[in-house]
Every structure is written in C-alpha cells, then in structure tokens.
Chains A and B, each alone.
Chain A
C-alpha cells in the first residue's frame, strides 16, 4: 500500500458541543475514517464518529466459555476417568464440588482474554503514532477537543477536506504528518 505523506487533518475545538456537531457533520458528509480525542469521555461522541461495536465482548465470551469448560474438565477428567476415588461415598462426577473452581476459571479466563483482546484490537502499546505530530495535540489531555480525518479515507482530499473542516468552526486546522 502506498504510504501517504500525510496521516490526516486535525481540527481543534474549544468545546465538546463544537466537537460533537463537527463529528456529526463529518460523518454525514460521508467521511468514515476519523477519530476524536478528548480529555474526558464525551457522551454520544463514539456514536457520532460512527464507532458502534468492538469485538471485545465476543473475545470476553470466548474466554469465559474456555475457562468454564476447561475448569470443569480439569476436575471432571481426573475424578471420573483418570484417578477415580471414592470420597465420602459421593459419586465420581460430584459436579456441585466442581462449581467453585469452574466459576473462578471462567472469570479468570474471561478477564485475561478481555485485556489481551483489547490490547490486540487497539494496537497498544504503540511507541509511535502520527497524531502526536499535530501542533498543540498535548492539549487533548487538558482542555481542548480534537477531530482527525485520516488521509486513508476514500473521500479525503487535502484541499477540499481542509476547507470542509474550516467550515466547522474550529479553532485551528493543521496537517498531521505520517
């Protein structure tokens, strides 16, 4: 894939309302590859930039099921097949006794899968990311709100997109080098 010299265009906004309106306009305009950066979670922003679903819940479910069946098998096999022992006259497959460990392993595996799946999907840790080339971007952790349209977007045009972003009432629009 050809590497674009430009990562995208970054617009800086003063308020969450400006950012939300801009994000909605951008999405309505047909842009899809964009991201927003804010110092705190903004209600409705994820929906505004068209971010609906992640696969983390599915990964969590797979982890939970793995832990559940694995944990049960880990106790069932030795007690019933491998080394069956008569303990207190109880049946070999004494499933009530297996539940606590099955439960614990369900939670453990679901938790581990969720964290690792989250890291795998969001690409962390990322030592280099182009958005930090944008001027004043460090204010995204303090009191400014940023919207970035990526150059990868099929509708992206350095000139037209810049004009479009300018029309959204930003404080400033700047190039983000790749």
Chain B
C-alpha cells in the first residue's frame, strides 16, 4: 500500500525472553508465597499497582496527544499504544487480589471490622462485594477505551481513513474524564484503603501524575532506544526530545506541587485521623525513603530538565527517563508498603520476584504490540501535514 511504511526493528528478541523471565519469577514468587501468603499478596499488590500505573500513564499521555496534537506525539504513538495494550494483561492479574481481599485489607476481614468502629462506619463503602463491583467498573472502562484506541489506530493504518483521527479525538476527551474519575477511585481502593482511617482528596491526583510521569518516562526510554535502529522519518529531532524533556519536567513539578500540598495541609492541621499516615512515612528508616523522593523525584530531575543540553540529547534524556521510572516505583513503594511495615522498609524476595514477574509479563505484552507495526502512524492526516512541511 505505502512503501514508506517501514516496520519497527530492534524489538524482535524482547518478547519471548521477557515472557520466560516473567513466568519463572512469578512461579518462584508463588512458591515462596506458599509459606507466607500474606507477604506474597503484599508484594503482589505493590507490583500490580506499579505496573497498572504504567499502563494508565501510557493511556493518559496517548489521549492527551490525540486531543492536542503536535509533532512530539507521533513517534511516541507506538510505544504508548503498546503500554495501552497491557490493560488486558493487568485485568487478568487483578483476579488473585480480588479473591484474597481479607489477606490484604483489614476492612475485608470480619474479625477486624468487628473490633473497629471506624471500619464498621465505613463498611457501606469498604466491603468486599462493592469493592469487586467497583474494580469491574474500572477495568470495563479501561478495557473498552483500550480496545477502541488500538482498534481504530490499526484500522487507520490499514485503510487510511482520515475520519478515524476525529473519532479517536472524540473518544479521548471523555476518555480523559473517565480516567480522572476511575484512577481516583481505584487508587483509593487499592492503596489508600490499606490504612482505612486516612483520607485525602488530593491523593488521586498524586497517583495520576506519578503514573503519567512513569508512563511518559517509559515511552521516552522506548523512543530513545528505538530511534537508534529506526529512522522515524527524521522526526526524533533534538527539538522533539526537548519536548519530551519538558513534559517530564511538567509532570515532575506537578507531582512535587501536589505531594507538597497534601503534606502541608495535613502537617498544618495535625489531626488524629490524618497525621499518623505521615508520621509513619517520615519517621525511622522511612524518612530516608522520603528524602530520596524529595531529592530524586523532584530536585535532581527538576534541575537537570531545565538544562537544554540534557533534554536535547538522546543519551542523557534516556538515562534520566530510566531514573524517573525507578523513582516512580519508589514513590509507589513509599505510598504502599508503610501500611504493611510501619517500623521500617524490609527487603523481601517476594517483592523482587513479583516485580520481575509482573514486569516480565508486562514487557512481553508491550513488545508483542510493537512487533510488526509501522514506526509512525503515516495514515494520520495530521502527521501527513507535518511530513509535507519537513
């Protein structure tokens, strides 16, 4: 159809090893979990929340690009779509959590609810059937969005129908709204309800931004690696790399702004319901984790991303993005794990296996979506316009 459509290269050997490593790690994790199922589910929840965050973040950035356009988004289209594809996998990986809620959440354990008036008060919302219903709603919404985003994009590649771009745009506007709501409720369910007395209205926003940052960072890493082997019609210029750097800078600053806002309000209020959440997280060894977040989730990337020579060079931007994926994980770790280990962070082999396991499966889905796709969505009328000007 179109001779210019060159398929992506350099990812053929990624999918299968990732699948093997992922399955082996998950099996090892389950074997360890036979001895200590509580620890297994803690590790599993941590890894699940982080990787579903990468899927969510990819989808957010992709829909933002469908809405606002711009040269920067077209080379990112394939890696972001690959991130969206992983929603199918994450829906399956949610099931073990749903079947063992009392192991993870105190509000799902009848004995603990019986002993705690706060849990009884919150029981109309925090109960097992309603939790399951809510999770089904989140994933129904996400899977429907993922299905149509991927289907219409592929259809446009095949038929070249320009109308599909408008349809994707029209989907993205309500899509982002739906995302804002579902992510807020989902992170309250999955993570905040681990400590059922704590509440914060800005919490969902913090999650959304840290997930968008993780998704954008991962897509940046992918594009830096892919641009070594693929030409992208010359679109991956220093200017476009600078755009990625600026987006990462925006998400980094927004994360710092939201996180600090939550901290300032709760610290100033110093109320009994809310403050224990922070007392646990900034005392003892958790304090070091909090300091790592301030320095490496905000200060260092903030200063580096202000500098043009850092964000306009593929190698430095790529490494910085790798670092941002890692600190996004540390952020999720700091939000989640103190609920299980208030005294200090401890190393568990199951944490490692759960992350490598779910991560391997995630990467396998990611790679299989990239495989055989053209490097750019050349049938998108907006891209055609840009390529004519170059």
Is the pair B260, A99 in contact by a Cβ cutoff of 8 Å? yes
Is the pair A96, B267 in contact by a Cβ cutoff of 8 Å? yes
| Cβ–Cβ < 8 Å partners of B264 in chain A | 96-97, 99-100
Consensus secondary structure, chain A interface: helix
Consensus secondary structure, chain B interface: helix
Among A65-104, those with CB < 8 Å from B are 88, 96-97, 99-100
| Cβ–Cβ < 8 Å partners of A88 in chain B | 270
- Assembled-state Cα–Cα distance A97/B267 (Å): 9
In angstroms, how far is the closest chain A Cβ from the Cβ of B78? 27
In angstroms, how far is the closest chain B Cβ from the Cβ of A8? 31
| Cβ–Cβ < 8 Å partners of B267 in chain A | 96
The size bracket of the interface on A is under 10
| Cβ–Cβ < 8 Å partners of A99 in chain B | 260, 264
Is the pair B263, A96 in contact by a Cβ cutoff of 8 Å? yes
CB 8 Å contact bits of B264-292 with A (1 = contact, 0 = none): 10011010000000000000000000000
Closest Cβ neighbor of B268 among chain A residues: A97
In angstroms, how far is the closest chain A Cβ from the Cβ of B308? 9
CB 8 Å contact bits of B242-270 with A (1 = contact, 0 = none): 00000000000000000010011001101
Closest Cβ neighbor of A88 among chain B residues: B270
| Cβ–Cβ < 8 Å partners of A96 in chain B | 260, 263-264, 267-268
- Assembled-state Cα–Cα distance A88/B270 (Å): 9
- Assembled-state Cα–Cα distance A50/B196 (Å): 62
Closest Cβ neighbor of A43 among chain B residues: B239
- Assembled-state Cα–Cα distance A88/B260 (Å): 20
| Cβ–Cβ < 8 Å partners of A100 in chain B | 264
| Cβ–Cβ < 8 Å partners of B260 in chain A | 96, 99
- Assembled-state Cα–Cα distance A100/B263 (Å): 12
In angstroms, how far is the closest chain B Cβ from the Cβ of A90? 8
Query: Would you list the 5 A-B pairs with minimal beta carbon distance, nearest first?
Result: A96-B267, A96-B264, A99-B260, A96-B263, A97-B268
- Please report B residues at the A interface, Cβ cutoff 8 Å: 260, 263-264, 267-268, 270
Can you list 11 A-B pairs, Cβ within 8 angstroms, ordered by A?
A88-B270, A96-B260, A96-B263, A96-B264, A96-B267, A96-B268, A97-B264, A97-B268, A99-B260, A99-B264, A100-B264
